Amino acid sequence: MKDEKYIELITLPGMVKLDEIPVLDYGGFSELVLGLLSLESNHCLNYFVVPFPGKYKFICCIGCDERKSVRVFSHEQERNEKLILPSLSCNHFPLHIFEREIHENFGIDFSGHPWLKPVRYPIDRHDKNRIMDNYPFYTIGGEELHEVGVGPIHAGVIEPGHFRFICNGEKVLHLEIQLGYQHRGVENLFVQNEHGVKKAVLAESIAGDTATGHAVCHAALMETLGSMAVSGTLSLERTIALELERIAVHIGDTAALCTDIAYQFGQVVCEALRTVVINTTQSWCGNRFGKGLIRAGGTHYPLTPEIAGAIRKNLEEVRERYNQITGRIFSMSSVLSRFEGTGKVTRYQASLIGAVGMAARSSGLKRDIRWSHPSPAYGQLNYDPVVINRGDVWARAKIRVLEVEKSMEMVFQFLDLLDGKSENTLPVYKSDLMPDAFAIALTEGWRGEICHCAVTDEKGKIIHYKVKDPSLHNWMALAIAVRGQEISDFPLCNKSYNLSYCGNDL
Amino acid sequence: MFLDEFIIYKRHGRQSVPDLRSVELTPLFRGRPVISADITTEETLKVAGLCPTGAISSAPCSIDLRKCVFCKECQFALPGKIAFTNDYKMAVNSKEDLIIHTGQDHPLTLDPGKIRKEIRSLFRHALKLRQVSAGGDNSCEMELNAAGNVNFDMGRYGIEFVASPRHADGIVITGPITSNMAEALQICYDAVPDPKIVILAGTDAISGGVFAGSPALDRKFLEKYPVDLYVPGNPVHPLTFINGVMDLMGIPKG
């Protein structure tokens, strides 16, 4: 094992002793990363720094679709104010966001990085002189051009973020997105709070619209570090909750897309259907977003046969009515003329920026944790994701319709597999976790891959917690999508991605 | 073609909740809690240690809904002694009223003496609000959007969210108020014409919730201005919000 360049985790969520992660020199590390990532079936799940006294440990996790595994390896550097490393982003652009994050947090310079800009202005950032007010926006000179600044507060009831457009007339030449307004210090709170319930509630609040997704990922991580076994029943119940979340958000987004093109009929019908789905979740666990449902080791809310019956009945009703309205939406020329060709991101661009989840799949890139790294529940179904090659707003609207159908089918299959059984183990809030360990968990939330990693010390206390929301990658897709578009199509493009601000800002 | 629309329309039917005051939510909904009068000190200390936000005080036992994230762990640990009812009417204008004492089981209401006179006279028939998310996790924001949707339709009472603070009569804050958002919140508040109201929606906004104490927050804004309505919840349920605002405006019934 000592001679290996990486350690391969076959079962996920995975755990490894910290000292079993191979430590390479930076040259060997670069060669290995770039070698692995030259295959499209591999992609970087996470690359981050764990600070130790006197040294920085850079941990890199590469997901391998073919082997359904995660390869983990690292390099270490002395803690030094003026540490400079040659950037790997020049050779493999998707790494850009990880290097930016590391640079912002620790001040480590990546020479040759094309875009070493702030990610979220965290409270413990290295350079306190970098403040929200002096973000280094890209500028283009010329009398013909003008800039448009939007936000942080937007017209609707949504989260804050700042968008800076450079336009030539109505046409957008460039969009730069400045985030960080939502930064609450989530990762630090995971380290400071040893309180198990608090960590679970915190996980649900990373992005409240993906409460189930993040909670499932966090619970899986805690179970791995706490050596807790999860029954097949619990795994199935969680997966049903995840799919219900996906169905609800996708239907809500269909409504919102209709709003943005002023098709009110489509909007109100889909809004009402979303209500049915989230109220179904509420009748299961008392919360419309599934908060409180997912806990490590067990659950307070077993999926009883009555609730299973209600889910089946409601979904059948919603399925029929959603098919009716989307059939109508996608046959109207006035809808199609706004959706088709708008905000196009090509497959090449999507792979270049490292898009994940729905944003990748609507541009023809097959990225789906349910397929590439399936949990036991998904593994039973031979799930194959929906992929659309067009990359425009139409594709991002259509993929929602197709995924709702697919998710409903899956929920019905999962309910069949449950066959009236329900989980009867209660949650376990463990504080004695595996000491000196590194653990990683992956979940496909409705936006895309969610990755939580944790590192523990010799007493089994968490000393580093890393959250990655899919939005971290996908915000760049939105910036690319609006290039060359009318600025008036920005709201439509934005909604078609519906990315998370707080998931990025943490 | 229009036949399709007609078929969908017929199937869609009337979606709005007829009376927003008398909806009965699922019994599992986590609303106003009730603490049994015979809860012992040992029991209280046990659940106080379990509470993720320190919302439970001992001697005598109380649950502070300013801090409560409605996870219901205390009820699971002490069934029969603590019970979260499905009463969603939890909005108040006096924050001390959010502390639930042992044996207390009556609906939470607004203190009429504390409602500024101009609020009702000016805004009763049309209240335009500007929402500011300051670290909100997007669940409260989605529920506030839902308050105006086809089901809850608070627009029927003239209550509406608007885009510009210049058009607004007040602001609704969600989220624990991050340092990075503090300035924008102040600018937005200043841009709202007087007289104006402030509503805190969700536990995160009221106390910081699970984020309380994080150095990334800056809650000084709340020390400067009076708050007209506190709406607890994680997230706030649309009915909690709408009923609270209707009470504040003095709107009697549907």
pLDDT of residue A3: 58
Chain B contact probe: residue of A193, A199, A205, A212 with most B CBs at under 10 A? A205
Whether B136 contacts chain A with CB within 8 A? yes
Contact A159 B184 (CB under 8 A): no
Q: What pLDDT band is residue A368 in, cutting at 50, 70 and 90?
A: very high
Please, is B41 exposed, middle or buried when counting C-beta atoms within 10 Å of its C-beta (0-12, 13-18, 19+)?
exposed
Interface of B with A in 214-243 (CB under 8 A): 214-217, 234-235, 237
Examine the domain organization and report whether A74 and A190 are in the same domain: no
Examine the domain organization and report whether A115 and A190 are in the same domain: no
C-alpha–C-alpha distance, residues B56 and B44, integer Å:
8
Question: Could you tell me which residues come within 8 angstroms of residue B148 by beta carbon, excluding any fewer than 6 positions away?
Answer: B154, B155, B159, B160, B161
Q: Which of A102, A119, A136 is the last residue of a domain?
A: A119
Of the CA atoms within 13 Å of residue B14, those in its CB half-sphere come to 3
Query: Domain for residue A480, yes or no?
Result: yes
Q: To the nearest whole number, what is the mean pLDDT of chain A?
A: 93
Interface of A with B in 419-438 (CB under 8 A): 426
Tell me how many domains chain A contains: 2
Examine the domain organization and report whether A197 and A310 are in the same domain: yes
Number of continuous H segments (helices) and E segments (strands) in chain B: 9, 10
pLDDT of residue A450: 96
DSSP A426: P
Average pLDDT score over residue span A275-297? 95
C-alpha–C-alpha distance, residues A383 and A372, integer Å:
10
Examine the domain organization and report whether A298 and A433 are in the same domain: yes
Average pLDDT score over residue span A142-160? 91
Angle in degrees, 0-180, between the axes of helices B238-249 and B139-147, rounded to the nearest 10? 60
Contacts of B163 in chain A (CB under 8 A): 155-156
The string of pLDDT tens digits covering residues A471-493 is 999 999 999 999 999 999 999 99
Q: Quick check: A345 and A480 in contact, CB under 8 A?
A: yes
Whether B189 contacts chain A with CB within 8 A? no
């008392």: which residue's tokens? A286
Does the structure show a pLDDT above 50 at A290? yes
pLDDT of residue B14: 87
Q: Quick check: A325 and A269 in contact, CB under 8 A?
A: yes
Residue-range definition of the domain harbouring residue A24: 7-119
Q: What pLDDT band is residue A423 in, cutting at 50, 70 and 90?
A: confident
Whether A86 contacts chain B with CB within 8 A? no
Query: Domain for residue A147, yes or no?
Result: no
Q: What pLDDT band is residue A2 in, cutting at 50, 70 and 90?
A: very low
Query: Domain for residue B102, yes or no?
Result: no
Query: Domain for residue A425, yes or no?
Result: yes
Strand partners of residue A42? A64
Question: Which of B138, B181, B188 shows the shortest C-beta gap to A209?
Answer: B138
Contact A184 B217 (CB under 8 A): yes
Query: Domain for residue B122, yes or no?
Result: yes
Contacts of B9 in chain A (CB under 8 A): 265
Residue-range definition of the domain harbouring residue B166: 112-249
Query: Domain for residue A349, yes or no?
Result: yes
Contacts of B146 in chain A (CB under 8 A): 275
Does the structure show a pLDDT above 90 at A395? yes
Tell me how many domains chain B contains: 1
pLDDT of residue B12: 87
Whether B188 contacts chain A with CB within 8 A? yes
Query: Domain for residue A168, yes or no?
Result: no
Query: Domain for residue A158, yes or no?
Result: no
Query: Domain for residue A59, yes or no?
Result: yes
Examine the domain organization and report whether A380 and A465 are in the same domain: yes
Q: What percent of chain A clears pLDDT 70, i.e. is strictly above it?
A: 99
The two beta strands, A84-86 and A109-111, are parallel
pLDDT of residue A1: 44
pLDDT of residue A106: 93
Q: What pLDDT band is residue A198 in, cutting at 50, 70 and 90?
A: very high
ipTM: 0.93
Residues of chain B with pLDDT under 70: 1, 253-254
Q: Quick check: B140 and B183 in contact, CB under 8 A?
A: no
